Amino acid sequence: MKKRVAFVLILFFFFKVSAQENHISSFSTLTVTYKFHPKFFLYGEGQLRGIEDYSYPDYYEIKGGIGYNLTKNHKPFIGLGRYGNYKNQLMDKEEFRVWLQDVIDVKAGKFKFENRFRAEKSWFYEPQKDRHSDRIRLRYRMNISVPLNAESVKPGTLFANAYDEVFFITTENPLFARNRVYGGFGYQIDHTFGIASGYLWQREFAQSGNKNLHFLYLALNITIDGAEEKHYEFPGAD
């Protein structure tokens, strides 16, 4: 157990120092998955990002929902969440979002290819301008993961994870609004706790000009599952 704790602390220290040296943004996540039924599960997530300053969060997310295991590799989901952007330590934009999602996994040996499709509807309020707006966005993510020291993810398993996600906004121009590319590693500590960390590159497309963001991602994943045969999910940066 001491070795596992030391591993987590070393990993966190390395990424914190690296981010400060390179002025990279932070992306920290806590997720909880509660599998209360063989078919149904609840999912919740809290998130903080430091976009302008690594050490000072200026964006947050609080979201969750319920999913259904249609088959072992097919999981529809419905969710909602609240999101906030700050500028100069003042609330700049608030968002309420609902979404429908479908996840289809395809396995090839030790590799798992996760296809995630999502449709979102968002309502925004900008308090400093007293302005309301809304948005419809479509997303697709191909997420590839592979255990490195075992045949499947279980306690004590180190795994690699990479994905590419594209975003389309049907109510704005340009239609293709964002691309995300992620690569990193994770470690399943025990039956309940897992960690993941890596690098996320995000490209924003806009008529006013494109923008690149570079994040160091760090996540703690908690899984509550009473089933004898357990399956561990790592949602990745979302």
pLDDT digits (tens, 9 = 90+) for 16-66: 544 444 468 999 999 999 999 999 999 999 999 998 777 788 999 999 999
Predicted pLDDT of residue 232: 77
Q: Which residue has the higher pLDDT, 206 or 197?
A: 197
Predicted pLDDT of residue 103: 96
Confidence of residue 229 (pLDDT cuts 50, 70, 90): confident
Predicted pLDDT of residue 53: 78
Fold for 2-210, please state it.
Porin (2.40.160)
pLDDT in tens, 112-139: 999 999 999 999 999 999 999 999 999 9
Q: Round to whole Å and give the CA distance between 109 and 152.
A: 10
Q: What percent of the chain has pLDDT over 90?
A: 73
Q: What is the 3-state secondary structure (H, E, C) of the chain?
A: CHHHHHHHHHHHHHHHHHHHHHCCEEEEEEEEEEECCCCEEEEEEEEEEECCECCECCEEEEEEEEEECCECCEEEEEEEEEEEEEECCEEEEEEEEEEEEEEEEEEECCEEEEEEEEEEEEEEEECCCCEEEEEEEEEEEEEEEEECCCCCCCCCEEEEEEEEEEEEECCCCCCEEEEEEEEEEEEECCCCEEEEEEEEEEEECCCCCCEEEEEEEEEEEEEEECCCCCCCCCCCCC
Asked if the model's pLDDT at residue 141 lies above 90, the reply is yes
Predicted pLDDT of residue 20: 45
Q: Are 105 and 74 in contact (CB under 8 A)?
A: yes
Q: Are 201 and 212 in contact (CB under 8 A)?
A: yes
Q: Round to whole Å and give the CA distance between 159 and 186.
A: 5
Provide φ and ψ at 21, rounded to 5°. Answer: -70, -35
Which of 193, 117, 124, 182 has its CA nearest to residue 154?
193
pLDDT in tens, 170-184: 988 889 999 999 999
Confidence of residue 235 (pLDDT cuts 50, 70, 90): low
Predicted pLDDT of residue 3: 52
Domain residue ranges of the chain, discontinuous segments joined by + = 2-210
Asked if the model's pLDDT at residue 157 lies above 90, the reply is yes
